[in-house]
Amino acid sequence: MMSDKPAGDAGFDRQREQLVARLRAQRIASERVLAAIAATPRELFVPPELRPLAYDDNALPIAAGQTISQPTVVAVMTEALRVEPNSHVLEIGTGSGYQAAILAHLARSVVSVEVHPELAEGARRVLATLGIENVEVHVGDGSLGWPDAAPYDRILVTAAAPEIPAALLDQLRPQPGSRLVVPIGGRDFQSLVAVTWENGEWVERRGGSVRFVPLRGEAGWSDTEWSTRRHPFSRWRRKHNP
Ligand code: SAH
């Protein structure tokens, strides 16, 4: 089995085209999002021994016990974020850097925060290899956002949070078009929540179900809460939804 094909390998290029065709068939409608996925070699963001699986529609293990998200989920979340060419974007949970690379294709600038230094380092390396220069990767507790580069036009959280982290809303520009997308829930059930600025207030909408590793840190899940599968919606104040 070939496990160390170089970038630009024709086999991977063909698999990437097939992935984009599958996503289109699954009703990912944004041509900008599809083009960003078509331009991003996922095989470079997975451990070398897993490269043959890079274009399967699965999450895969990366360092530090974390995962690179499933391509379908990346596509759905990216589309839900509605990034514009002039957007300044914050991503929480850099992981492999794959989602950050896709955001970089769509946005003016991306700030991505990762709690595990070795993942941040690995992501920086791959992004540099690809010549992507509009992403800054920082090590820290992203449940508190990254105030130094705020305000943001879009914020994407790629780990499951118990509720909407207050610091993230504080760092989102209060203007029409601004958008926060975050999986809310525990180990067993999470749904994608989008928060937008409408008529002078933040409005939450719940979308489809997803499955992410936990957001840690101050506004994230503690180990015990996560592993006792406590359901978050009991303490989730849904101000604007009926
Ligand atoms: N977006 C990633 C996948 C994210 S997996 C990709 O494209 O590969 C979720 C990531 O969130 C993990 O790497 C995990 O370490 C990170 N994470 C969890 N809690 C965090 C926190 N409080 N701050 C920053 N990163 C966090």
CA–centroid distance, 173 to ligand 1, in Å, is 23
Active site residues: 69
The finding on whether 112 has its CB within 6 A of some atom of ligand 1 is: no
In a domain, 144, yes or no: yes
In a domain, 162, yes or no: yes
In a domain, 202, yes or no: yes
In a domain, 2, yes or no: no
From first to last of its 242 residues, what are the pLDDT tens digits of the chain?
Answer: 444 545 567 799 999 999 999 999 999 999 999 999 999 999 999 999 999 999 999 999 999 999 999 999 999 999 999 999 999 999 999 999 999 999 999 999 999 999 999 999 999 999 999 999 999 999 999 999 999 999 999 999 999 999 999 999 999 999 999 999 999 999 988 999 999 999 999 999 999 999 999 999 999 999 988 988 655 554 444 444 44
The preferred substitution site among 216, 218, 222, 223 for testing ligand 1, maximizing ligand atoms within 8 Å of CB, is 216
CA–centroid distance, 21 to ligand 1, in Å, is 28
Burial class (CB in 10 A: 0-12, 13-18, 19+), 139: middle
CA–centroid distance, 13 to ligand 1, in Å, is 27
Structurally, the chain folds into a number of domains equal to 1
The finding on whether 40 has its CB within 6 A of some atom of ligand 1 is: no
In a domain, 4, yes or no: no
In a domain, 120, yes or no: yes
- Which range marks the domain in which residue 235 is found? 10-239
* Domain of residue 234, CATH code: 3.40.50.150
In ligand 1, which atom is closest to the CA atom of 144?
A: 22
